[in-house]
């Protein structure tokens, strides 16, 4: 099973958008961005794939028909979203539970593609011109860019959006936008953004990917309050019908201002996208079997092996397929909340991790579908291995006094078991670590140095994961730990995770594969106590902070690799997480109403923005009424 909490790669740049055709502009197919020249696109590392005069993306069908409806099961959350409910229409603030899909209603200055890792092409911004010191970025807006009510997108709207998100937006977006020093409107069609001296391309990619709001629409409204009416947008979809906590629909804008731009051709083909909300994954699966949900990515190996035998599968009305996942696996783990004193000692954390028997769980619960994870950098060249090399040591030596000695050894790898479910050897090793940390057994109770019994509560909002937890809990109890599993409702889970009111939670986060300030949200001291941040473990280490700055400041791929490998060593030596598992494929199931391009985007499954409904199946999708 792959846990759903986390971010997809495309979360780093806003969805929706198109590039401006600008054949007269020079190509910037170099890693070094040209300055004092209007550019049609930018890249953090490497060349831009698409030239100025490209007509459409390689992974779309430019002749794809429009129409029909799709009802997908959401696969990942971002900002304040919740899998099981929503109670506000603002997905970009800390307050409330935002819905899936609102990003489809907004345009942004530039937009990424799904076959490149660190590029962005013009969307609302026709071009961007960069100063020699790369601190000042001037965006020329497309005069054809309009909001859904027909009013033009102006520089004032961009200024309002960036400053509002910086000052009042969700922490995981605002933290990057705080690198903005000034943002101002120049004339009727230009916005000039100046960033702080220590900013890099990740700051710029956050800026150009941020949603653009209508300043006029927001006049007199509190951006941070709960929102019950649709904010004015300019993306390929606009909000349709909705009922809080139940469903939300987005209707395609047929005369969208960017419909013929090359990044939009062949994309966003469904007339309607609808998200249904259910109390748990079991209810969601029953809805899929009944045809209320039309597309599903399966994350539970037990279900994939046994539950896809209902009539619609057997008679071919529902299709199943397994497609390769070429993206880095990301780090899926139990996150131990080190803000709590009982988890402050890394020996205690390591001992807790030793008692998870992956081999048993994989064989008995997951049909041997997965590989054990040991790192946030699985399936990448950034994963550390062996002893630190000369370049890694050059970063580590100045920090030696604040780095665990274990980090200078071969990186920690979770031990393998025989899969029998009996972990006596590991339990003895764990007890040795507990004893070294000052813990002691009192009968069948493991006591902390304070004399308090060591208790751990695994917090969740869905009981699908219960068998995996129960097997782990059994082993923890065998050494005297008071371990339990608690499932709470979606709203309570969101609040407790936001306020770090938990012992252990599961999450999965992909690592950016170019220097990006987002990584400080995961591991930086500045985010350790910021409500809503993704630093779930509460990591606050000066050494890790220093290496994070090296990751963010990397100027070459080699500098980036070295810094990431050192980061990997420090994280694994700190035992802040009990890593779980990963696999190299996606399991997809969908009602057979759809077609898709011959070429699949390398870094996304591409369903919402590249698939289309077969014309003869439009009525079957629920669009006949």
| CATH number, domain with residue 157 | 3.40.190.10
Token pair recorded at residue 54? 């490209």
pLDDT along the chain (625 residues), means of 10: 41 30 31 84 87 96 97 91 94 95 97 91 97 96 97 98 97 92 97 93 92 98 96 98 97 97 96 94 93 95 92 97 85 96 98 97 94 93 96 97 96 95 94 98 96 97 90 96 95 93 94 84 95 95 97 89 97 98 94 97 93 97 77
Q: Which domain holds residue 341?
A: 331-582
**Coil, strand or helix: which one is 419?**
coil
What is the CATH number for 345? 3.10.105.10
pLDDT of residue 595: 98
Cα–Cα distance, 521 to 11 (Å, whole number): 14
User: Could you tell me if residue 622 is inside a domain?
Assistant: no
Domain boundary residue, one of 171, 186, 216: 216
Is 322 within the bounds of a domain? no
**What CA–CA distance (Å, rounded) separates 340 from 350?**
15
Are the C-beta atoms of 528 and 536 separated by less than 8 Å? no
Of 366, 365, 399, nearest to 570 by C-alpha is 399
CB-CB contact of 382 with 511 (8 Å): yes
Which residue, among 267, 264, 270, 234, has the nearest Cα to 252 in the 3D structure? 270
Same domain, 189 and 335: no
Residue 265 lies in a domain: no
**113 neighbors 57 (Cβ within 8 angstroms):** yes
Q: Count H helices, E strands: the chain?
A: 17, 25
Domain count, the chain: 2
> Is residue 548 in a domain?
yes
DSSP letters of 96-113?
A: S-BPTTGGGG---SEE--
Q: What is the pLDDT of residue 117?
A: 80
Does residue 33 lie in a domain region?
A: yes
Q: Which of 149, 183, 216 lies at the terminal end of a domain, its last residue?
A: 216
Kindly calculate the radius of gyration of the chain based on its CA atoms and give it in whole angstroms. 25
Q: Are 389 and 408 in contact (CB under 8 A)?
A: no
Q: Which of 196, 216, 236 is the last residue of a domain?
A: 216
Quote the pLDDT of residue 191: 98
In a domain, 477, yes or no: yes
Residue 208 sits in the same domain as residue 348: no
Q: Using CA atoms, how far apart are residues 8 and 508, in angstroms rounded to an integer?
A: 10
29 in any annotated domain: yes
What CA–CA distance (Å, rounded) separates 365 from 472? Answer: 12
Give the per-residue pLDDT at 32.
65
519 part of a folded domain = yes
- One domain for residues 209 and 358: no
């Amino acid at each position: 099973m792959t846990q759903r909490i986390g971010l997809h790669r495309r979360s780093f740049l806003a969805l929706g958008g198109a590039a401006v055709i600008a054949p007269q502009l020079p190509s910037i197919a170099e890693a070094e961005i040209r300055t004092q020249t209007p550019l049609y696109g930018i890249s953090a590392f490497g060349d831009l794939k698409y030239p100025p005069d490209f007509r459409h993306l390689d992974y779309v069908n430019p002749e794809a028909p429009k129409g029909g409806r799709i009802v997908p099961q959401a696969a990942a959350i971002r900002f304040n979203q919740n899998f099981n409910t929503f109670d506000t229409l603002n997905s970009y603030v800390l307050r409330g539970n935002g819905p899936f899909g609102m990003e489809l209603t907004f345009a942004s200055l530039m937009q990424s593609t799904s076959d490149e890792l660190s590029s962005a092409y013009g969307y609302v911004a026709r071009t961007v011109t960069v100063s020699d010191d790369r601190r000042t970025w001037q965006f020329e807006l497309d005069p054809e860019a309009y909001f859904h009510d027909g009013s033009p997108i102006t520089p004032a709207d961009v200024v309002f959006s960036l400053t509002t998100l910086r000052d009042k937006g969700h922490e995981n977006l605002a933290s990057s936008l705080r690198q903005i020093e000034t943002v101002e409107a120049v004339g009727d069609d230009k916005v000039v953004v100046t960033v702080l001296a220590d900013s890099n391309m990740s700051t710029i990619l956050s800026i150009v990917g941020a949603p653009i709001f209508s300043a006029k629409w927001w006049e007199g409204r509190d951006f941070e309050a709960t929102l019950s009416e649709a904010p004015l947008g300019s993306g390929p979809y606009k909000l349709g019908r909705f009922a809080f906590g139940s469903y939300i629909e987005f209707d395609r804008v047929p005369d969208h201002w960017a419909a013929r731009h090359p990044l939009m051709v062949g994309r966003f083909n469904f007339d309607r996208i609808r998200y249904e909300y259910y109390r748990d994954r079991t209810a969601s699966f029953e809805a899929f079997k009944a045809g209320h949900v039309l597309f599903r990515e399966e994350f539970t190996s037990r279900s994939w092996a046994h539950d896809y035998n209902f009539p619609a599968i057997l008679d071919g009305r529902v299709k199943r397929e397994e497609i390769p996942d070429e993206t880095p696996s990301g780090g899926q783990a139990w996150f131990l909340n080190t803000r709590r004193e009982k988890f402050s000692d890394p020996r205690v954390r390591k001992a807790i991790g030793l008692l998870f028997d992956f081999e048993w769980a994989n064989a008995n619960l997951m049909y041997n579908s997965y590989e054990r994870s040991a790192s946030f950098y699985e399936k990448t060249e950034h994963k550390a291995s062996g002893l630190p090399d000369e370049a890694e040591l050059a970063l580590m030596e100045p920090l030696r006094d604040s780095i665990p000695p274990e980090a200078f050894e071969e990186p920690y790898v979770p031990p393998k078991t025989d899969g029998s479910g009996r972990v006596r050897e590991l339990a003895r090793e764990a007890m040795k670590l507990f004893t070294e940390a000052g813990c002691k057994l009192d009968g069948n109770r493991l006591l902390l140095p304070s004399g308090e019994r060591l208790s751990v509560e695994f917090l969740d909002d869905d009981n699908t994961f219960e068998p995996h937890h129960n097997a782990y809990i059994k082993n923890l109890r065998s050494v005297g730990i008071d371990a339990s599993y608690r499932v709470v409702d979606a709203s309570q889970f969101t609040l407790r995770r936001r306020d770090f009111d938990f012992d252990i939670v599961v999450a999965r986060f992909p690592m950016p594969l170019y220097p990006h300030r987002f990584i400080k949200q995961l591991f930086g001291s500045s985010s350790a106590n910021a409500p809503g941040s993704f630093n779930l473990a509460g990591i606050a280490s000066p050494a890790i902070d220093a290496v994070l700055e090296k990751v963010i400041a990397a100027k070459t791929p080699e500098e980036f690799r070295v810094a990431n490998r050192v980061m990997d060593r420090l994280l694994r030596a700190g035992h802040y997480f009990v890593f779980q598992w990963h696999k190299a494929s996606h399991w997809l199931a969908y009602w057979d109403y759809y077609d898709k391009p011959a070429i699949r985007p390398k870094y996304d499954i591409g369903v919402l923005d590249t698939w289309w409904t077969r014309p003869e199946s439009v009525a079957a999708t629920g669009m006949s009424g």
